């Protein structure tokens, strides 16, 4: 899930799982001044302050 804080920051709660059963969770915050912010915002699509949206999988690199 991703939420947008009142200051515009984007907070992503992410989970990764491997075929072997390992898994990990992460909470990542992107402030509007972060160089990656625009790309993350485009990936998430429209989101209102205080709102939340599901996070689609990112392309593997």
Query: Tens digits of per-residue pLDDT, 4-48?
Result: 999 999 999 998 888 999 999 999 999 999 999 999 999 999 998
pLDDT beyond 90 at 2: yes
Domain ranges of the chain: 2-47
Distance CA 30, CA 36 (A): 7
Letter string b/e over residues 11-43, b meaning 16 or more CB atoms within 10 A of that residue's CB: ebeeeeeeeeeeeeeeeeebeeeeeeeeebbeb
β-pair type (10-17, 52-53): unpaired
pLDDT number for residue 61: 63
Distance CA 32, CA 3 (A): 13
Q: What is the pTM of this model?
A: 0.82
């Amino acid at each position: 899930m991703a939420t947008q804080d009142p200051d515009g920051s984007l907070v992503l709660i992410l989970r990764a799982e491997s075929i072997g059963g390992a898994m990990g969770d992460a909470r990542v915050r992107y402030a509007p001044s972060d160089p990656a912010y625009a790309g993350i915002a485009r990936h998430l699509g429209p989101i209102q302050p205080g709102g939340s949206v599901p996070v689609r999988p990112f392309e593997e690199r």
